[in-house]
Amino acid sequence: MFKIGQLAKLADVTPDTVRYYEKQGMMDHNVRTEGGYRLYSVQDLQRLRFIRYAKQLGFTLETIAELLSIRVDPEHHTCQESKSIVDARLAEVEDKLTELTRMRASLKRLSDACCGSAHTSNYCSILEALEQGASEDKSKKPV
């Protein structure tokens, strides 16, 4: 059994994070010492690591709670449920990658268009292009 500090250290989170997950109903602390300290099991550690890894993958706490409920009660759930949750997150990531790829290309064009010399920025191709882009963007949206 682990005290909260030990558990947090093993899962590479803070004790406050553990307490937060408890408040969210994602972690339990059923056992306490005579002194009132929370005690956690190896299963609790695994659950905390599960939550942490899912957070690293960008799942929301709500989605992680869904995944945990599937994990805790597998007899009443299907793999299809887990897969649809993961596929939805994958689609979000792919959309973000597309957006980031476009952003990277635009920034590269801006950088390549600039001479980068030490002259004053009275005429700076980057600032001009940003100004032009802002004007074009503004004309697309009604005021």
Distance CA 50, CA 11 (A): 9
* Residue labelled with tokens 């599937």: 70
Exposed e or buried b per residue across 103-139, where buried means at least 16 C-beta atoms within 10 angstroms of its C-beta: eeeeeeebeeeeeeeeeeeeeeeeeeeeeeeeeeeee
Q: What is the torsional sign of CA 27, 31, 35, 36? A: positive
Q: What local confidence, expressed as pLDDT, does residue 98 receive?
A: 97
Q: What is the pLDDT along the chain (143 residues), one digit of tens a residue?
A: 889 999 999 999 999 999 999 999 998 877 787 888 888 999 999 999 999 999 999 999 999 999 999 988 878 888 999 999 999 999 999 999 999 999 999 898 888 877 777 666 667 788 888 877 777 765 555 54
Q: What local confidence, expressed as pLDDT, does residue 45 receive?
A: 94
Domains of the chain: 1-59 (1.10.1660.10), 78-143 (1.10.1660.10)
Q: What predicted TM-score, i.e. pTM, was given to this entire model?
A: 0.74
Q: What local confidence, expressed as pLDDT, does residue 32 receive?
A: 80
Q: What local confidence, expressed as pLDDT, does residue 75 receive?
A: 85
